[in-house]
Amino acid sequence: MSHNKPLILITNDDGLIAKGISELVKFVRPLGEIVVVAPDAPRSGSGCSLTVTQPVHFKMIRKDVGLTVYRCSGSPVDCVKLARHAILDRDPDLVLSGINHGDNSGVNVHYSGTMGAVIEACVNRIPAIGFSLCDHDQGADFEPMGKYVRELTKMVLLNGLPDYTCLNVNFPKVEEIKGLKVCQQARGSWSNEWEPCPRSFDENYYWMSGSFVPLKKGHEKSDNWALANGYGAITPTLVDMTDYKFAKELDSLVAGLLMEDEE
Amino acid sequence: MSHNKPLILITNDDGLIAKGISELVKFVRPLGEIVVVAPDAPRSGSGCSLTVTQPVHFKMIRKDVGLTVYRCSGSPVDCVKLARHAILDRDPDLVLSGINHGDNSGVNVHYSGTMGAVIEACVNRIPAIGFSLCDHDQGADFEPMGKYVRELTKMVLLNGLPDYTCLNVNFPKVEEIKGLKVCQQARGSWSNEWEPCPRSFDENYYWMSGSFVPLKKGHEKSDNWALANGYGAITPTLVDMTDYKFAKELDSLVAGLLMEDEE
């Protein structure tokens, strides 16, 4: 096997059976040697979670020229960790995750298993992109985003990404995408997040639900705005979450605490 | 019930039964009206994960003056979401999470269920602090950090925190803490993350394991360094993960793509 072709690791959070991951493989297959390590069942909303209370298992289920596929019993982050430490003989040149059936823009980056895998790669300084389509349907049409997925993948293979920065790329559910916008993570929050599902003698059961309400301020630069207006939204995403700006003010506050302590 | 006392919501990821959450309640109980909503079992490594494939249940298990306790079948993030939308009659003034049995400094912020709850509060602009002790032992001694936990909680109740910034506070396992340092999220990554646990006829089973290897560069300012040197590490943490600095460069790269497209 030649090492000249880029090694591309692909995973997702909807599970191996989802249409989105097959479409992603199809779009980027000409660009490198593809290894898929993906969850054996849906793992939506798994964020950066790890499996710690039971062993994680993987199994090769397909091996073709240029494409090897493994299913894994763990989370998307587990898939990346297992691929790197127990499956691949070298680090991938690129990690791709998705294509997610559903929007991962704005604060969803925190809850998203798709982005969990991307963050895991990025923490280990492997360039990584998460792709999502704002359509939860199992049969969603990924075709309109195909050329953008391919071009962005080529761009990152060619130029890399800064250490500790990854890309969160979301596409609107439209027949024709207007183009790409580099965006900011939308500010806002979820409302109506719980749907009661009471049972006899106990009403305290709830299904996760809800809708995202973006803040108005700075809205036009946000990924949420781009999607609502027909653009693909590329949000460059830092895995170093340190608030360097607030650090100085916090320093004085904390110093104050210590002085009181000594009195 | 008076609304003049601050309403403090407390959760964790080690579950209601863990010593750390009892200790946290003990340390801060004089500072407000305390409501605990915590997982009914350990949820370590759950990050910002959500429970989406089954209903989430909660139950009140204790009601004293100034302290009400609920157990919840969901993740730490679910606990905060349920508390806000189905349990409390107003938003808490502060969310505290922990005290975690184990280190949540550096990149662990992404995997940590303790910090997941904190991030959930912060996204909703509620001041929030995660507390952790670098000691996995069930009977760990939290006493040395008690006064710091109390002082930092008072500080945040008094001054608040910037919107979309929360605190990740970790303490070393020492008898006497040297003081507090405002830190940066340590750069580095985990190695030896999997421990094989083969079974008959199938060797592809692994336990999550590993140790954190910090990068040398910038090490003295990192939370990891502070902990290794006997200090409590306060890492101000942003939930807006946008890489504003890289956005401009990315803009030109992406504009290039589009021009090629039009040729």
Q: What is the pLDDT of residue A219?
A: 84
A113 and A195 within one domain: no
Q: Is the pLDDT of residue B187 over 70?
A: yes
A106 and A200 within one domain: no
Question: Which residues from chain B sit within 8 angstroms of residue A59, using beta carbons?
Answer: 204
A226 and A200 within one domain: no
Q: Which of A49, A129, A158 to mutate to test the interface with B (most CBs of B within 10 A)?
A: A49
A84 and A195 within one domain: no
Question: Which residues from chain B sit within 8 angstroms of residue A244, using beta carbons?
Answer: 184
A226 and A173 within one domain: yes
A144 and A31 within one domain: yes
Give me the mean pLDDT over the A59-82 stretch.
Answer: 97
Q: Is the pLDDT of residue A220 over 90?
A: no
Q: How near does any CA of chain B get to the CA of A18, in Å? A: 16
Average pLDDT of chain B is: 94
Domain of residue A205: give its range: 189-214
The answer to whether position B204 is within a domain reads no
Cβ–Cβ below 8 Å for B47 and A116 = yes
A194 and A235 within one domain: no
Question: Which residues from chain A sit within 8 angstroms of residue B238, using beta carbons?
Answer: 241-243
Give me the mean pLDDT over the A193-216 stretch.
Answer: 91
User: B85 vs A188, which has greater pLDDT?
Assistant: B85
Percent residues over pLDDT 90 in chain B: 89
B129 touches chain A (CB under 8 A): no
Q: What is the pLDDT of residue B263?
A: 43
Q: How far apart are CA B66 and CA B122, in angstroms?
A: 24
- How many other C-beta atoms can be found within 10 angstroms of the C-beta atom of residue A74? 25
Q: Which of B149, B192, B208 to mutate to test the interface with A (most CBs of A within 10 A)?
A: B208
> From residue B2, how far is each of A11, B7, B65, B189 by CA, in Å?
51, 10, 12, 47
**Per-residue model confidence as pLDDT tens digits over B128-142:** 999 999 999 999 999
Q: How far apart are CA A251 and CA A244, in angstroms?
A: 11
A245 and A210 within one domain: no
Question: Which residues from chain A sit within 8 angstroms of residue B204, using beta carbons?
Answer: 57-59, 86
Task: Please answer whether residues A31 and A99 qualify as being in contact, where contact means their C-beta atoms are separated by less than 8 angstroms.
Answer: no
A215 touches chain B (CB under 8 A): no
The answer to whether position A48 is within a domain reads yes
Please, which pLDDT band fits residue A14 given cuts at 50, 70 and 90?
very high
A175 and A47 within one domain: yes
Task: Please answer whether residues A13 and A24 qualify as being in contact, where contact means their C-beta atoms are separated by less than 8 angstroms.
Answer: no
Question: Which residues from chain B sit within 8 angstroms of residue A207, using beta carbons?
Answer: 55-56
Asked whether residue B100 is marked as a ligand-binding residue, the answer is yes
The answer to whether position B49 is within a domain reads yes
Q: Is the pLDDT of residue A184 over 60?
A: yes
A34 and A73 within one domain: yes
B86 touches chain A (CB under 8 A): yes
Q: Is the pLDDT of residue B259 over 90?
A: no
Beta bridge partners of A208: A194
The count of domains in chain B is: 1
Rg (CA), chain A: 20
Please, which pLDDT band fits residue A130 given cuts at 50, 70 and 90?
very high
A142 and A48 within one domain: yes
Q: How near does any CA of chain A get to the CA of B24, in Å? A: 19
Lowest mean pLDDT among A120-129, B2-11, B20-29: B2-11
The answer to whether position A1 is within a domain reads no
B212 touches chain A (CB under 8 A): no
Q: How far apart are CA B152 and CA B154, in angstroms?
A: 5
Give me the mean pLDDT over the B109-115 stretch.
Answer: 97
The answer to whether position A135 is within a domain reads yes
Lowest mean pLDDT among A164-173, B2-11, B210-219: B210-219
Sheet with A56-64, side-by-side order of all strands: A180-182, A232-238, A165-171, A128-133, A94-101, A7-11, A33-39, A67-72, A56-64, B205-208, B194-196
Q: Is the pLDDT of residue B3 over 70?
A: no
The answer to whether position B143 is within a domain reads yes
- How many other C-beta atoms can be found within 10 angstroms of the C-beta atom of residue A79? 34
Q: B35's torsion region: left (phi>0), alpha (psi -120 to 50) or beta? A: beta
Q: What is the pLDDT of residue B1?
A: 47
A205 and A142 within one domain: no
Amino acid symbol at A179:
G
Please, which pLDDT band fits residue A257 given cuts at 50, 70 and 90?
confident
Give me the mean pLDDT over the B213-222 stretch.
Answer: 81
Q: How far apart are CA B155 and CA B170, in angstroms?
A: 16
Please, which pLDDT band fits residue B219 given cuts at 50, 70 and 90?
confident
The answer to whether position A147 is within a domain reads yes
**Per-residue model confidence as pLDDT tens digits over A93-106:** 999 999 999 999 99
Q: Give the CATH number of the domain where residue A165 resides.
A: 3.40.1210.10
Q: What is the pLDDT of residue A3?
A: 58
The answer to whether position A2 is within a domain reads no
Amino acid symbol at B243:
D
